Structure formats: C-alpha cells, structure tokens
Amino acid sequence: MIDGKKVLFSGMQATGNLTLGNYLGALKNWLTLSDEYECFYSVVDLHSITVRQEPAELRKRARNLLTLYVAAGLDPKKNCIYYQSHVPGHAQLSWILNCYTYMGELNRMTQFKDKSSRHADNINAGLFTYPVLMAADILLFQADVVPVGKDQLQHLELTRDVAQRFNSIYGDVFTVPEPYIGKTGAKIMSLQEPTKKMSKSDENPNASILLMDDPDTIIRKFKRAVTDSEACICYREEQPGIKNLLDIYCTCSNKTVEEAVREFEGKGYGEFKLAVGESVVSVLKPIQDEFARLSKDKTYIDEIIKENAQKANYFANKTLRKVQKKVGFPEQIR
C-alpha cells in the first residue's frame, strides 16, 4: 500500500516494434487501472539485453517506449514511468531471488524454451534467469496487481511461488501479486496464422499491426487477414481468424462479444474486416499524433525521466533494505 492505495506494477520491453497485441493485452488495461492503483510502469531495458541489441538502437527504442506510455494517456505526475536501468534495486533484488529459485522451475518456462530455440547462438544465463528478474521487478514494489497478456502468466505464477517461498522463511516480506488479465484482448493472434500469437519478432509484416502503422497500412493488413470459408461471424475456436478479429474489434470499441456478433449478423467478411481496421485506426491514430508531438518536447520527457527515477528508487530501496536485512547482510554505516 502506498498512501492508502494498492500498488500496480507492469513493464514492456523496448525490443522491436510494439504491436497491437502489446497495446490491447497490456497498455490499454494500464490506462483503465491507473486511477485506482499507485502505478509503476517500467521500460524494462535490463530484460532487453538477454537478446543481442544494437546499443544506439536500444537507447532510441527505450526512449520511444517511455514517450509512448505518456502518449497513450498515462499521466507521468500520477504514474511512475521510468527506465528499469535507472533503478539498481532491480538487479540487486534479482540476485538475491536467484538464490531462492530452482533450476527446475526455470527449465519449465515456455518463453525460455521458445527464445532459446530462436536464438540458438546466444543462449546466455540472462535468458535463463529472466523470469527471476521479472519477479524482482514486481516484488521490489510490493505490487498487488500486475496487468499483463496471457503469455506472461507463467512468469507471474513463478513470481508468486518465489514470494511465498521467501515469506515462508523470513515472515511477511513480499506482497504476493495477482495477475490482471483483460476480458478480451489478452492474447491477440497473428493476422496471417491466427493460431499463433501476434509478436514483434514475426518476420511476415502482414502478420502484425504495429502501433506506429499508418491508417492505410492498418486497413490493408486487415483486408489481407486470414479467415475461413464458413461465411459466419461467430466467436468460436473452430474459426480462429474470425475469433481473433472479433477480439480485436471488441477490445478497441469497448463492446461485448455478443454485441459485436449481433452487429455483424448476416454481413460479409469484407465489410467486417474493414470495420475492425477502422476501430483499430480510431484507437491508434490519436496515440500516434500525441507521440509525434511529445517526441519533439525533449525537456518535458527528460524531466519525467529524472523525477520518476527518483520516485522509483525511493520505493525500491525501501523493499531492498528490508530484504537485505532479512537475509543477513550487514547494515550500511552512513
């Protein structure tokens, strides 16, 4: 609790171009929850280097991501928006938690298996212990809730296990966090292979909608989206393409699946795809415009970076000191 409010933590990697999946699965929910909770939103650049990065490019992407958080509507006066690398406590707590996490647990992580098969030439120890750093991110701020897409649920489960294990040894040190998953949009699928997650690393450009795609590109990609020959706009597993488009439409237009299915009853796929594309444009265009405006305001963004890093460090150090004491490190002499 901070000032009587429960705490929320979440983060995104600044690797590759962000997709509509990142927005609908995570960022959109951050906006909805930001009044209710004391929020920490990190640009998790420590996580990014588990895969080889071009330094200048990483720096640029990280800044763009931080600017995007603000452009999407997160008020930097109310929400703590910061770079993970500006808060040393993440790495410090991560080391400690490494000693309370089992190899067997990390071996089971599907994201590790997936990433190590895609980056077979660089299966580094950081990639393996990545979920421990993620647990440290969350536990450092004593977060009650963590809004994420479905693909992060396994990491959240591990975070809870590590927190409970630590608490069972040392008493109530960590808040055990709950995941927050949206009713729709928690797993946006590829537009070309709708049984696969929409991902920033997809090589087929038509598979993903990028947050910075212009309106024409967005509409074109939706027109090309893979569907089926059922000629029915129904929400069911047997029609993964249509189901995914309905998910996207409902999340963008804040409608329920029932409302959307009723709206498109008897209509053709062409008309439906266009409506989905338009609903996405109406959500992304204002964010893109605000992003373009904010990107030019260097002083404003720098100020946010500086102030929020101080705030994040203050809360992170509180937890870190407590943990260090519990495990038996000597107090610092000031």
For ligand TYM, the binding residues (CB under 6 A) are 9-13, 21-22, 25-26, 44, 47, 134, 137-138, 146, 148-149, 151-152, 186-188, 197-198
- Count of other CB atoms within 10 angstroms of residue 80: 25
Instruction: Write down the catalytic residue from 6, 77, 78, 115.
Output: 115
CB of 14 to ligand TYM, least distance (A): 8
Are residues 29 and 147 in contact, defined by beta-carbon separation less than 8 angstroms? yes
| Position of minimal CB gap to ligand TYM | 25
Are residues 158 and 126 in contact, defined by beta-carbon separation less than 8 angstroms? no
- Active-site residue, 115 included: yes
Are residues 288 and 56 in contact, defined by beta-carbon separation less than 8 angstroms? no
- Active-site residue, 77 included: no
| Residues in the chain, overall count | 334
CA distance 307 to 82: 9
CB of 261 to ligand TYM, least distance (A): 21
Q: Which of 63, 61, 60, 71 is nearest to 27 (CA)?
A: 71
- Count of other CB atoms within 10 angstroms of residue 79: 22
Nearer residue to ligand TYM within complex by CB, 194 or 277: 194
Nearer residue to ligand TYM within complex by CB, 50 or 227: 50
CB of 91 to ligand TYM, least distance (A): 13
CB of 121 to ligand TYM, least distance (A): 20
CA distance 279 to 273: 10
Nearer residue to ligand TYM within complex by CB, 151 or 263: 151
**What is the dihedral sign for C-alpha 314, 316, 322, 325?**
negative
Find where tokens 């963004």 sit: 301
- Active-site residue, 223 included: no
Nearer residue to ligand TYM within complex by CB, 186 or 233: 186
Q: Which residues are catalytic?
A: 115, 197, 200
